[in-house]
Chain A
Amino acid sequence: MAKISLGRRSSTLADSEWLMTDSQNDPLSAISNMLDIISLSLFVSGIALIIAAIIGVPLGAMLALRQVIFKKIIMLIIYTGMGLPPVVVGLVVYIFLSREGALGWLGWLFTPSAMITAQVIIALPLVVGLTASAVENVNPELRLQIRSLGATPNQAMWTILSEARAGVVAAIVAAFGGIISEVGAVMLVGGNIEGSTRVLTTAIVLETRKGDFGLALSLGGVLLTLTLITNFFLLNLNKRK
């Protein structure tokens, strides 16, 4: 669906630069751009968070509750993973997903799928590590007592997770904050393509580069507000249960 605009244009290039209609000057398309960016940010980080939570919370609980061989080494790896620079994760994902990479055939590079992948990897150590820590802080006697009430090891794990829910919610909140504010990895694997992989953080970098500090700050404000609202809901989940 090509949009071709015919019209009189001045022949000299200098003048035509002046006459060039920039889509940013049109308020309606600016708003629609902004909405695209916001919804993509929420979509990418939301999906990544859900995947990381589904995998990471039970994993963290199992790590804390079961007799795992090499538990100390695994915890070391997880704690290191929590401090891993996100841009390094992005770089590795980029290498795997690029044309010559092992997973290049997936065709995910420069699509939201790649961004979600990178963000899941960034979020996972946070979710696993902080969940394990929260579960470890639950009274170990509890496990014995609920098992005596007939809980299977699986049922016991979910009950203990529920008791540790404050810490589990904190883990999820931390992970969300980490990935929605991340810029290096999503820039690398997403490409900041207008209309398909541009999110709030990469848009902020772009507007700053363009010298439009005012717009960059507004985008930053939107990002903060989104995080605030999301955390409000997440923390309420804690109370309602």
Chain B
Amino acid sequence: MWLIIIFCLLIGLAIGFQMPVLLPLIYAKYMSIAILAAIDSVFGGIRGYMEDGFDTTIFVSGFIVNALLAAGLAYIGDKLGVELYLAAVIVFGVRIFQNLAIIRRYLVKKY
């Protein structure tokens, strides 16, 4: 399980660095928020996996929809003049830490 995640992450990083794609400056901010959402989804997935409550549909849809929603909200915020991306950063940040804490507890219990 862990091996799969790390291995796939590394492969993804390698592909990404080889790809000749560079984001325009203005989209970098939205991309960073989408990444936060994605990280949150991955940790949520791991947590669900450990709790035996893992649902593939929820996981994949959450990953895609959360990333798009976060980026979209940040974009709308920019258009409105409200720094909505801060809300996304806080929410996802908090959730990432919560998920990490739960994963840690499971690991501690397990070993």
Q: Do A and B come from one complex?
A: no
Residue positions of B touching A, CB distance < 8 A: none
